[in-house]
Amino acid sequence: MTFQFEPIGIVSSPFKQKFGIPRQPGLCPHIQGSIHLLHPYDDKAALEGLEGFSHLWVSFVFHQTMQQGWKSQVRPPRLGGNQKVGVFATRSTFRPNPLGLSVVKLERIEQHHNGVKLHISGMDLLDGTPVLDIKPYIAYSDCIPNSTNGFAEDKPERTMSVQFSSKAEQVGLSFSHEYPGLILLIEEILSQDPRPAYKKKQQNKQEYAMRLYDFDIKWQVENNRTLVTSIDSI
Ligand code: SAH
């Protein structure tokens, strides 16, 4: 059996590259984005009733990594990156079928002459991610308070304190009209410590960079402190 699916929508998100994206949705609630529905799915009738739901399940394709295939075992960052578990016990992107599933907050539905946009927040999705399906999150069934969660029992802690150089803060604030909450968003993302697990053990000062919207963001990590050194508009 083979199946062929086509996207019903495309994600628009601040993340232009994988590095820096939270490892699950909901960890950085200030991330704002949208799903642009494609024709013929941008149909009012198909969305009727959706506005009553605060959260959505988004099924999508890990389109940027799908060419790399899958591995039966992976080293989840939660286990420090040196212990292997089976792919089906993880949320790894390298799966037999490269399908992702994220629960996101539905902020509002925008409908106008050239399409429909679902404004969402808190997502762990790359800009341009193809969306295969959208379903409402239903708490009575989807939320299981007494579940057991293997190696992912606790929500990852925000271990990093994040500071900004005065230059970086100035640039961030100067864009606050176009990008409200930019500084807060950067702080939220970096406090999750996006570095790969093996890098976290290194004690010496290192520089990292990520692209967020149209900004190049650079930071340094020393012990448990992050200093954002520059925010450059590109
Ligand atoms: N919540 C989803 C995804 C978890 S993995 C699930 O459980 O299925 C989350 C990681 O997926 C992010 O940190 C990012 O690195 C990666 N990612 C997000 N969108 C992607 C895409 N379109 N292609 C490849 N990787 C992507």
Kindly state whether residue 203 falls inside one of the protein's structural domains: yes
State which of 142, 171, 195 marks the end of a domain.
142
Using the predicted structure, report yes or no on whether residue 82 has a pLDDT greater than 90: no
* Closest residue CA from atom 23 of ligand 1: 62
User: Which residues are within 8 A (CB) of 53 and not within 5 positions of it... i.e. 6 or more apart?
Assistant: 106, 136, 137
In this structure, the answer to whether residues 64 and 103 fall within a common structural domain is yes
Q: How far apart are CA 188 and CA 171, in angstroms?
A: 17
CA–CA distances in Å: residue 193 to residues 28, 128, 219, 223: 12, 24, 11, 12
* Closest residue CA from atom 13 of ligand 1: 23
pLDDT, residue 60, reads 98
pLDDT, residue 118, reads 98
Q: How far apart are CA 131 and CA 6, in angstroms?
A: 9
pLDDT, residue 77, reads 87
Number of domains in the chain: 2
Q: Which of 198, 170, 199, 169 is nearest to 186 (CA)?
A: 169
Kindly state whether residue 149 falls inside one of the protein's structural domains: no
CATH of the domain at 201: 3.30.2310.20
pLDDT, residue 205, reads 82
DSSP-derived secondary structure letter, 136: E
In this structure, the answer to whether residues 81 and 184 fall within a common structural domain is no
The DSSP-derived string for 74-114 is E--GGGTT-S-EEGGGS--S--SS-EEEEEEEEEEEEEETT
Kindly state whether residue 224 falls inside one of the protein's structural domains: yes
pLDDT, residue 80, reads 85
In this structure, the answer to whether residues 133 and 167 fall within a common structural domain is no
State which of 142, 176, 191 marks the end of a domain.
142
Kindly state whether residue 152 falls inside one of the protein's structural domains: no
Kindly state whether residue 2 falls inside one of the protein's structural domains: no
Helix (H) or strand (E) holding 61: strand 55-61
In this structure, the answer to whether residues 19 and 125 fall within a common structural domain is yes
Buried/exposed 64-102: b ≥16 CB within 10 Å, e otherwise: ebeeeeeeeebbbbbeeeeeebebeebbbbbbeebebeb
State which of 113, 142, 171 marks the end of a domain.
142
pLDDT in tens, 14-41: 999 999 999 999 999 999 999 999 999 9
The CA 175 to ligand 1 mean position distance, Å, reads: 28
Using the predicted structure, report yes or no on whether residue 204 has a pLDDT greater than 90: no
In this structure, the answer to whether residues 127 and 183 fall within a common structural domain is no
Q: What percent of the chain has pLDDT over 70?
A: 100
pLDDT, residue 170, reads 96
Using the predicted structure, report yes or no on whether residue 223 has a pLDDT greater than 90: no
Atom in ligand 1 nearest the alpha carbon of residue 100: 8
In this structure, the answer to whether residues 45 and 74 fall within a common structural domain is yes
Using the predicted structure, report yes or no on whether residue 201 has a pLDDT greater than 80: no
pTM of structure: 0.95
Kindly state whether residue 137 falls inside one of the protein's structural domains: yes
Q: What is the mean pLDDT of the chain?
A: 94
Average pLDDT over residues 195-209: 82
Helix (H) or strand (E) holding 199: helix 197-200
DSSP-derived secondary structure letter, 64: T
In this structure, the answer to whether residues 56 and 114 fall within a common structural domain is yes
In this structure, the answer to whether residues 41 and 105 fall within a common structural domain is yes
At residue 113 the predicted structure's pLDDT band, cuts being 50, 70 and 90, is confident
pLDDT, residue 182, reads 95
* Closest residue CA from atom 1 of ligand 1: 102
Whose tokens are 């308070």? That residue is: 145
**CB-based pocket (< 6 A), ligand 1:** 18, 21, 23-25, 62-65, 91, 93, 100-102, 124-126, 129
Ligand 1 pocket test, pick from 62, 68, 103 with the greatest ligand atom count within 8 Å of Cβ, gives 62
Identify the weakest region by mean pLDDT among 29-33, 153-157, 203-207, 219-223. 203-207
pLDDT, residue 168, reads 97
In this structure, the answer to whether residues 96 and 205 fall within a common structural domain is no
Kindly state whether residue 121 falls inside one of the protein's structural domains: yes
In this structure, the answer to whether residues 37 and 119 fall within a common structural domain is yes
In this structure, the answer to whether residues 79 and 168 fall within a common structural domain is no
The CA 113 to ligand 1 mean position distance, Å, reads: 31
In this structure, the answer to whether residues 184 and 93 fall within a common structural domain is no
At residue 112 the predicted structure's pLDDT band, cuts being 50, 70 and 90, is confident
The CA 191 to ligand 1 mean position distance, Å, reads: 19
Residue 118, domain extent = 9-142
Whether the Cβ atoms of residue 13 and residue 213 lie closer than 8 Å to each other: no
